[in-house]
Structure 1
Amino acid sequence: MNFLFCIFLLYVTHKTVESHAHYEVKEAENLFRRLFKLRRVEQLAAVKRIRSLDSEEKQKKMIMTAAEKIFSMLQNNRIILETAGFVPGVSSFPEDEDIRDALSNLLENTALIGDIILRLPEISQSLLSSHNNWVILLSWSLQFANQTDLLDQQTVTLIDLVSQEMNFTARSDNYINPYKYSYRSEKEQEENEIKPLKPKKKNKTKDSRRGPRLSSRGNGEL
């Protein structure tokens, strides 16, 4: 009986520890999702600042600098995740903090470059066309991000739009880049606000004072 009781006690203890560990991982995943959303707000604000720069040359420099860092991060974190054997959609949320950081960095940077591509498509796609290795890495990271179950719906939509914009996936019949056209309307509105108001032209009509006037009728009669 004592032996059976010990076995039972070990079983219960194991289940308790296992349950506690599962709870901690689930809490870590929920925190991961919340922090990801907050980070996305910061990233979007940064992209909007790039878009508001007053010259295309400045925008190009900023995007080039950002892209170099982003794709370096994507490559480094891809190596970490693949080495750890993490498979999106298959592997459970990682318990190891280093793997979590790699996962977070990869998803955040994938979404960030997606924001840049959609909101500044002409500049970003021109840049990507001269860096084929970046295009290949972008295609991989978009697929990776799409296979995880860690993104909010807004980011899932973003990933889908970027994939279509880059022609990684077939474009739907009604595909449109909504950020591209909203940017144009914003710029037009800004330009209209900047234009100085033209002074009103003075009315050059003759004086219409009341009273009798000489008539041109007849022989100079009044």
Structure 2
Amino acid sequence: MIGSVVLQQGMPGIRVISVCTWRRNEKSREQQHERQRWPVRVTPPGETLEIPSYQDGAFADTGFEIYKRLFEVKRKDQINALNNLVELNDVNQQYKIIDIMLKGLFKVLEDSRAILVAGDVQPDGPFPEDEKIKDAYSHAVENSAFFGDVVLRFPKIVHHYFDRNSNWNNLIRWGIGFCNLSGVFDGGPHAQLLGLMAQELGISEKSPDYRNPFRSDQSELFPNTDVFQKALRDEEKRRKKEEKRKEIRKGPRITRSRSEL
């Protein structure tokens, strides 16, 4: 986080202190500027002018508030990606893509949890300043949210994987708890996401009026349950064949000389 203070001439007798802060994204190299103005009374000669310090947070948004805005940008990208997956309208392809996606998502979530736990980071504590911990914080929050998007839009596919994986269950329980305490979701457009996700996964008891907002009256996102079940069976067969081929390739090879033959 970098900050600078600039004095500018404003109304007569008033100077405006303009504070510019930004957080540099190491991947995109883009700078995101947040600017606010603070009027200060010009003091007569001999009188001391007291200006709140930058460290006190008087002039700049906190790192947490800046992150919340960046989080909203990230959420738009995530939802756009999922909308493209919905429009694919091919169960077999959706199955394969979600399979790969969830494995990567939970690997990142597991690594992020390890870093945050090792750093004794409390979700309701001060926003981290260390870059490594800050990245782990954002990865934990964003991947937990993204998994909520996936399970609400593709509940059958996700349940097919999630319900048999106790490690994923433990990870997302931790992720939901972390997000709830972080305050990132409070008062925003995604405030209901964590609760809906927890109910859909069976982590929390479903309320009487619970309804998946993305579930249609027909068969969730799939018009024909038989087609979906067939896609699951076909994909399971493909995966088993692939696993057998890998085992054969890993097995020892015995070569014989011509004399032995």
> What TM-score does the superposition give when structure 2 sets the normalisation length?
0.60
- Please identify the structure whose Cα radius of gyration is greater: 1
Counterpart CA distance in 2 for 1:37 and 1:183 is: 32
Counterpart CA distance in 1 for 2:107 and 2:190 is: 21
Which of the residues 77, 80, 86 maps onto 2:121? 86
Q: By percentage of residues, which structure has more helix?
A: 1
Counterpart CA distance in 1 for 2:220 and 2:164 is: 29
Which of the residues 91, 106, 110 maps onto 2:140? 106
Which residue number in structure 2 is paired with residue 38 of structure 1? Answer: 73
Offset from partner CA, 1:97-134 (integer Å, 9 cap, x none): 22111111110000001100000101111111232211
Q: CA RMSD in A?
A: 2.4
Which residue number in structure 1 is paired with residue 87 of structure 2? Answer: 52
Which residue number in structure 1 is paired with residue 181 of structure 2? Answer: 147
Give the residue type in structure 2 aligned to 1:123.
Answer: I
Which residue number in structure 1 is paired with residue 211 of structure 2? Answer: 176
SS in 2 for 1:178: coil
Runs of 4+ deviating beyond 3 Å: 24-27, 182-188
Give the residue type in structure 2 aligned to 1:181.
Answer: S
Counterpart CA distance in 1 for 2:61 and 2:141 is: 19
Offset from partner CA, 1:143-189 (integer Å, 9 cap, x none): 1111111225332201110001111111111111111128969877x
Which of the residues 167, 170, 176 maps onto 1:136? 170
Structure 2 contact 152–197 (Cα < 8 Å) conserved: yes
Counterpart CA distance in 1 for 2:55 and 2:103 is: 38
Please show how residues 109-124 of structure 1 align to structure 2 within 5 Å: 109-124=143-158
Could you say which structure has the greater relative contact order, defined with CA pairs below 8 angstroms and 6 or more residues apart? 1
Structure 2 contact 154–221 (Cα < 8 Å) conserved: no
SS in 2 for 1:154: coil
- Count of matched residue positions in the alignment of Structure 1 and Structure 2: 172
Which residue number in structure 1 is paired with residue 196 of structure 2? Answer: 161
Gaps of 5+ in 1: 1-15, 189-222
Counterpart CA distance in 2 for 1:32 and 1:94 is: 11
Counterpart CA distance in 1 for 2:133 and 2:220 is: 42
Which residue number in structure 1 is paired with residue 105 of structure 2? Answer: 70
Structure 1 contact 80–99 (Cα < 8 Å) conserved: yes
Counterpart CA distance in 2 for 1:151 and 1:29 is: 12
Offset from partner CA, 1:17-47 (integer Å, 9 cap, x none): 9x42342884322221111001000101111
Gaps of 5+ in 2: 1-50, 224-261
Which residue number in structure 2 is paired with residue 20 of structure 1? Answer: 54
Structure 2 contact 144–175 (Cα < 8 Å) conserved: yes
Q: By percentage of residues, which structure has more strand?
A: 2
Give the residue type in structure 2 aligned to 1:92.
Answer: P
Counterpart CA distance in 2 for 1:27 and 1:88 is: 15
Give the residue type in structure 1 aligned to 2:110.
Answer: Q
